[in-house]
A and B are shown apart, each in its own frame.
Chain A
């Protein structure tokens, strides 16, 4: 069982497309802008919000991975075909989950990120308030 796990990890590491390169030229719209500047601006904004599946810290706009190029081609083609950025994002999220977006919605997974700061601010305020009030009155270690 553990051997299988080790092998799985080994192959998993090898399975990253980064480890190999194909020999096809990039897809037409991977490095080419759309003719209509308004469409290109919409495509660009969306591409910056989409996460590359291969180099997972980069947006597909930034990544030179072949799959990122193909995703840019996909985004630009769909924009050129008249789809809205929101539709394309929904389409991709249905396939890769919220992970693919750098702007995930507010849900149970992200609630802590949004509400955490408010919570800690409130906690800090409460602690500080308590301390100040104690300072005015009697000593800290009053029985």
Chain B
């Protein structure tokens, strides 16, 4: 009668496999691809102004000693509208914010700023997503926390929610 349980091993393995397949079907693989370009210096870039009346954005400007946010957004991105109040709140808390507008037309950026406010010190136009790709960013909106030396410390994917605002202010404060 020894090792009768061995007979159940194949069934158990099949059960495990079946369970694994069902699990993956029910919860599809992770869709948010996090940037690996963290704790690394901002890639070098020099973006022209995204619309009339704003300043363009150079990577060298991101190492001026003040920790800041770089918000990757677009006027055609619906969730970015929902994020506007949180960016305003961050600005009101004294956080410097720069923007990178992805694949955007100047007139669309202008309309977006008129409608949802302009919390940005500078906005660079990334017409061919080249800076977005260099950042390892895979969508909009995304926000990068940059320390005073121009090193990327954290990536936030998706909309910043209202209760994340104090946390972000504290994190940037800690980088000073």
Q: Which residues of A contact B (CB under 8 A)?
A: 4, 7-8, 11-12, 14-17, 19-24, 27, 53-54, 56, 66-67, 70-71, 73-74, 92-97, 99-100, 141, 143
Give the docked Cα–Cα distance between A26 and B14 (Å).
48
Q: Select one of B127, B129, B136, B163 contacting A67, CB under 8 A.
A: B129
The answer to whether A14 and B104 have CB atoms under 8 Å apart is: no
Q: How far is the CA of A94 from the CA of B38 in the complex (A)?
A: 10
B121 interfacial by beta-carbon distance below 8 Å: no
| Distance between Cα atoms of A92 and B82 in the complex (Å) | 30
Q: Are B78 and A14 in contact (CB under 8 A)?
A: yes
Known: A70-B133, A95-B35, A95-B37. A23 touches B158 (CB 8 A): no
**What range describes how many residues of B lie at the interface?**
35 or more
Chain B neighbourhood of A143, CB < 8 A: 1-2
* B134-155 interface code vs A (CB 8 A; 1 in, 0 out): 1110111100000000000000
Q: Contact between A24 and B139 (Cβ–Cβ < 8 Å)?
A: no
Distance, CA A36 to CA B77, complexed state (A): 37
| Residue among B34, B76, B105 having the largest count of chain A Cβ atoms under 10 Å | B76
- Give B contacts to A, CB under 8 Å: 1-2, 29, 31-37, 74, 76-79, 82, 102-105, 108, 127-130, 132-136, 138-141, 157-159, 161, 163
Return A98 CB to nearest CB of chain B, in Å.
9
Would B31 and A16 count as touching, CB distance under 8 A?
A: yes
Bound-state CA distance A13–B134 (Å) is: 24
Minimal beta-carbon separation of B162 from chain A (angstroms)? 9
Complex contact B130–A97 (CB within 8 A): no
The reply to whether A74 and B133 contact each other, CB–CB distance below 8 Å, is yes
Min CB–CB distance B106 → chain A (angstroms): 11
Partner of B138, one of A21, A24, A27, A53: A53
Q: Which residue of B lies closest to A93 (CB)?
A: B36
Candidates A14, A20, A23, A99; contact of B105 at CB < 8 Å = A23
Q: Are B136 and A96 in contact (CB under 8 A)?
A: yes
Q: Kindly state the separation between the CA atoms of A97 and B155 in the bound complex, as whole angstroms.
A: 14
Q: A24-B104, A67-B139 are in contact. List 17 more A-B contacts (CB 8 A).
A: A12-B32, A15-B158, A16-B31, A19-B79, A22-B74, A22-B76, A22-B104, A24-B103, A24-B105, A66-B129, A67-B129, A73-B130, A95-B37, A96-B35, A100-B33, A143-B1, A143-B2
Chain A residues in 8 Å Cβ range of B77: 15, 17, 20
Nearest Cβ in chain A — how far from B129, in angstroms?
Answer: 4
